[in-house]
Amino acid sequence: MEIEIDWKGKMEKVVIEPLSWGENNDCIRKSVNIVNGMREIDIVTQNEYKLLKSIKKAPFKLNLEELRKIPVNIGEMLFNKMMEINNITGDNLKNLNPPSTQEE
C-alpha cells in the first residue's frame, strides 16, 4: 500500500506492507518485559516495532530512533494504515501470562 505524506513541504510516498506471521510474533517478543517474574508487554514498543517492520519505503531512515521523530499526525496515520492492512485486533495479548498454579 502506498501512502502519500507531506514530508518537509514535499509530497513523498511511504510503502507499507502486511506483516508475516513470523514478523508479527518477533515484534511481540521484542516488546515483552519480565516484571516480578511475570511477562508484561510494552504495547507502545510493540506498536513501534510493528509499524517499523511494515514500512518498506519512506522518506526517513527506517529505524526506531527516526520513526520516533516523525510528526505525530504522520505517525498516527501510518500506524492506523498498518493496523488496517494487518487486521490487528489486539487478541494476541490474551493469555500472555499463564494461569497461576498457586491455590488461592
Asked if 46 and 27 count as a contact pair (C-beta separation under 8 A), the reply is: yes
Q: Is 100 inside any structural domain?
A: no
What length is written for the chain?
104
Cα–Cα distance, 95 to 27 (Å, whole number): 17
- Rounded distance, CA 81 to CA 62, Å? 17
Q: What is the pTM of this model?
A: 0.78
Residue 67 sits in a domain whose CATH number is 3.30.2220
Give per-residue pLDDT as tens, 27-70: 999 999 888 888 888 999 999 999 999 999 999 999 999 999 99
Under a CB-based contact definition with an 8 Å cutoff, are residues 52 and 67 in contact? yes
What was the pLDDT predicted at 72?
95
Look at residue 74 and tell me whether its pLDDT is greater than 60: yes
Strand partners, 14: 3
The larger pLDDT score, comparing residue 32 to residue 97, is at 32
| Domain span at 12 | 2-88
Residue 26 reports pLDDT greater than 90: yes
Number of domains comprising the chain: 1
